[in-house]
Structure 1
Amino acid sequence: MKLLFVTNGHGEDRLALCLVRALGASLPGAEIRAVPLVGEGRLLEEAGIAVAGPRVRVPSGGLVRPTAGAVWRDLRAGLVRQFRRQMRFLREQAAWAQAAIAVGDTFCGWVAGRCLPDRPLILVATAKSVYIHGHSRLEVFWMRRRCQHVFARDEPTAEDLRRRGVPASWEGNLMMDALDVTGRSPVAPGEGPVVALLPGSRDDAYINLGALADCLEQLSRALAPSRQGLVGLVPLAPGLDRERALAVLAERGWTRQVPAGPSPAAPAGGHDSAGTITVEKGAARLRIAWGMFGDVLLAADLVIGLAGTANEQAAGLGKPVVVFPGPGIQFNPRFLKAQKRLLGDAVAVAPPDPAAVAAEAAAILADDARRQRMGAAGRARMGPPGAADRMAAVILRIWDARTAHP
């Protein structure tokens, strides 16, 4: 079986990788190629997947809900010219591929279907939910005509698509399978409560980090003296510069701590794939972590986030999430409103003021019943892990039925 994956962003690459691994386990002889419409597909390439086609980098990074300004910057960067090159390349893949799987929005699926018109197409629809805004009539019309199956991002959306004649299901959310856990603790003995600070994975993560650090400083002051073991954990996304992040904190008065002994998750033998660096400001303690995203979320009692996918993953793990309008490009009031509708009671919204954010976080930490309610809401919205295996089983059933009755 020769499968062509088409993706449209770094986050979608990570989700596609989960599905590729599940399919590879079920189909050991399968040949898989990937064509990223946005970005370089480095994550897939590092995992040993053949990444083909022209690589496209745009200033927006492929935001799901871009502003007019972001679209204009992408166009000025040559987006249309690059897109035409990709379309030509994808058409050439029709001679090789037996089926296509698009991971992203409907446009990503349309591109794959347009360029491989005679091949089965499966869409992993990551961008839309009836909690925010369901699929349009035009999108549904296209899905009915072109998709063998659509994996929706939640059950209400899948139900809406089925009601409108689209072969759709919800098998869970792939992003809950994309949590890399090393098993190394980012927290030292005696530390807690633990607050994860999620600045996002794009360029505005640095300015977001400064705002989140201000919130942690205020939270340290707001908590009772008996809870002064508070530590903030920042899991740096791949591609973000560690020294630049530390420089942002240094500008705000945070100083690097020189550990008396081994620090949490200290790299062994010079190995630098995962580790931590601790900085302090007064009584506040903040730890930059890398290569340990899943470990940080599992250790957290609460999350303060200015991220997209990472906030959703935290909610799916049952962590209460506090959000506020950020200083960067992505986490604007419109994005915040959409995320709140998507995650419901798993998210608490605070004004864009460090003291107000800290007060909301302190109130949640002091209220066990509220934390449990928020955690249950997040798990219900995101679904349990294992979506990749369930999706792979559906894909194999579709393929078996097609080959049995060509």
Structure 2
Amino acid sequence: VYALGVGAVFGGRPLFLMQCRSSLRVGGRPYSVTERLLMRRAARVYPREPEGAAWLKARGVPQACYLGNPMLDALDGGPLELPPPYLLLLPGSREDAYQSLPLMLEACRRLRDTALTPVVAWAGLPLERLRLEGFELEATGSGEGVTHQLCHPDGTVVYLTQRAFRSALLGSRVALSTSGTAAEQAAGYGVPLVGFPTRGPQYTPLFAEVQKRLLGEALTLTAPNPEALARGVLELLASEERRERARAAGKAAMGEPGAAARIALDIHQHLQAIVSEPAQSRSR
């Protein structure tokens, strides 16, 4: 509402709204009456899902137009020189990561026989604050891709990567997650997720349940302990049918990549039509 109000008062016309946050899938009324009234001033409104566009059109926002979810386009695309398939670890970009990554690493020890390469997509939090039991953090000297290795005396090696998220997603079979946006992006790329609640600040039990409503079968929630995490991964790996349902649910919730370009083209065409109108009027 605040962004729409500022845009309507100070931004001039035409106004375009790209709404990636609100979703009908989590229940309730995602768009308030005030927000819908302000939306009517926009030339286009781009919701994150087709249900949202239909809901808005039925409630007085006919310019709502679903062209996909641009969240799937904002991925780091650096190389990742590791053999797939990966077991992807998504501890997130908040303080939860310091709680959840140690549990994920212990789960990796229990999943050594799966032949999956464990890969952490680290979101840039200070590594010196990471407290690990049994694992040694070793720098590789690289500034992107595999920047560190996490090594355990039992032979478990987990690769910590940075600025290579897209490559990690494309090579992943399944993911452990306590993340927000990264989990939604992974689901959109067809990676089944096993999540578990933390003490916060972000991935609390309530947040996990809301994300579950959003992603459906793409996300399996477990208890926050290594045994439960490993069991969740093994159950997914054992059932191609479950993995396929998870992939389908993730794509249904997130749409197809390429929305950013489609929305940009739609805005461009709308602006071109506005510019051409005065010329056509003069010619008549």
- Report the TM-score, using the length of structure 2 for normalisation: 0.88
CA-CA distance at 1:275 after TM superposition: 2.8
CA distance in 1, matches of 2:38, 2:56: 12
Letter in 1 for 2:210: A
Partner-residue secondary structure (3-state), 1:287? strand
Q: Distance in 2 between matches of 1:108 and 1:213?
A: 40
**Paired AA for residue 212 in structure 1:** M
**Deviation digits for residues 120-160 of structure 1, max 9, x if unmatched?**
2111112111111421222112211x211111011101111
**Structure possessing the higher relative contact order (Cα contacts under 8 Å, 6 or more residues apart):** 2
Q: 1:318 aligned to 2:204? A: no
Name the structure 2 match of 1:201. Answer: 93
* CA contact 1:236–1:242 (8 Å) conserved in 2: no
Query: Identity of aligned pairs, percent?
Result: 36
Deviating runs (4+, > 6 A) in structure 1? none
Q: Find the partner of 1:159 among 46, 50, 54.
A: 54
- 1:294 deviates by 1.1
Question: Hey, what does 1:401 align to over in structure 2?
Answer: 273
- Quote the Cα distance in structure 1 between the aligned partners of 2:214 and 2:64: 19
Partner of 2:281: none
Could you tell me which amino acid in structure 2 is paired with residue 154 of structure 1?
E
Shift of 1:219: 3.7
Task: Provide the aligned length of Structure 1 versus Structure 2.
Answer: 274
What is the aligned partner in structure 2 of residue 139 from structure 1? 35
Going from structure 1 to structure 2, the CA distance change for 1:212 and 1:107 (only over 3 Å counts) comes to farther
Provide the rounded CA distance (Å) in 2 between the counterparts of 1:296 and 1:242: 20
Choose from 136, 150, 154 the match for 1:279. 150
Gaps of 5+ in 1: 1-105
Q: Structure 2 CA distance, aligned partners of 1:165 and 1:243?
A: 52
What do the CA deviations read for 1:345-400 (whole angstroms, capped 9, x no partner)? 11111122321121111110121221122112212221111111110111012212
2:136 to 255, 264, 267: 255
Q: TM-score w.r.t. structure 1 length? A: 0.63
Letter of the 2:134 partner, please give it. Answer: G
Unmatched 5+ residue regions in structure 2?
A: 279-284
The answer to whether the aligner puts 1:170 opposite 2:62 as a matched pair is no
Rounded Cα–Cα distance in structure 1 between residues aligned with 2:10 and 2:97:
35
Mark the CA change 1:284 to 1:328 in structure 2 (over 3 Å): closer, same or farther.
Answer: farther
Superposition map of 1:1-400 within 5 A: 106-116=1-11, 118-132=12-26, 133=28, 134-144=30-40, 146-166=41-61, 167-185=63-81, 187-188=82-83, 194-220=86-112, 225=113, 227=114, 229-237=115-123, 239-245=124-130, 248-249=131-132, 252-256=133-137, 267=142, 272-281=143-152, 282-400=154-272
- Following superposition, the deviation at residue 283 of structure 1 comes to 4.3
CA distances 1:275-309 after superposition (whole Å, capped 9, x unpaired): 33222222433111112111111121101111111
Aligned-CA RMSD value: 2.2
Query: What's the CA shift string for 1:90-123, capped at 9, x where partnerless?
Result: xxxxxxxxxxxxxxxx43222322333x332111
User: Contact between 1:177 and 1:386, CA under 8 Å: does it hold in 2?
Assistant: yes
